Amino acid sequence: MSGLKLGGVPLHPSLVHFPVAAWTAALLADGGFLVTGQPVCWSVAYWALAAGGLLGLLAMGAGFTDFLLLGREHPALDKVQTHMLIMGSAWSVFVLNLLLRARQAPPDLPWWLAGLTLLGFALLAIGGHLGGRLVYYHRIGVQRENS
């Protein structure tokens, strides 16, 4: 597979760590807010959701480009599409969360909004697992060594 690379390193796997870290921070900050009620936790979650949304767009753009460069006859094509669907759903849940949160008066965090963060994180974990399987099991994006 010939996907997007930067300095010989596949771009999509390099970028996905940033939105994952941001959305993990949002989940932890929501938990922190529910336990302590500290307004700073609300702010951290809000800005982590925003950062994850923007960084997620970059990662999805690189991943979609790799998808377009993947052969239509690739045996893991259906798994790639499933990964894309789940990760796109996770991104959508997090962005919806951000938009709904922007309508709340800080630091108000209804339980269902924290639940939305948890739902997005669950989708993120499932999609990330599938992405890992695409690399480690199906060898997508892995350069074959010439023996």
- 99-120 pLDDT, tens digit each: 999 887 777 788 899 999 999 9
Tell me the CA end-to-end span of the chain in Å, nearest whole number. Answer: 18
Residue of 78, 95, 98, 93 whose CA lies nearest to 125: 93
- 56-97 pLDDT, tens digit each: 999 999 999 999 988 888 888 999 999 999 999 999 999 999
- 15-67 pLDDT, tens digit each: 999 999 999 999 999 999 999 999 999 999 999 999 999 999 999 999 999 99
Domains of the chain: 10-136 (1.20.120)
Residue with tokens 């010939």: 2
Q: Which amino acid belongs to residue 147?
A: S
pTM of model > 0.75 = yes
Q: Which amino acid belongs to residue 143?
A: Q
Q: Burial letters for 33-64: b for 16+ Cβ neighbours within 10 Å, e otherwise? A: beeeeeeebbebbbebbbbbbebbeebbebbe
CB 13 within 8 A of CB 141: yes
How far is residue 37's CA from residue 18's CA, in Å, rounded to a whole number? 27
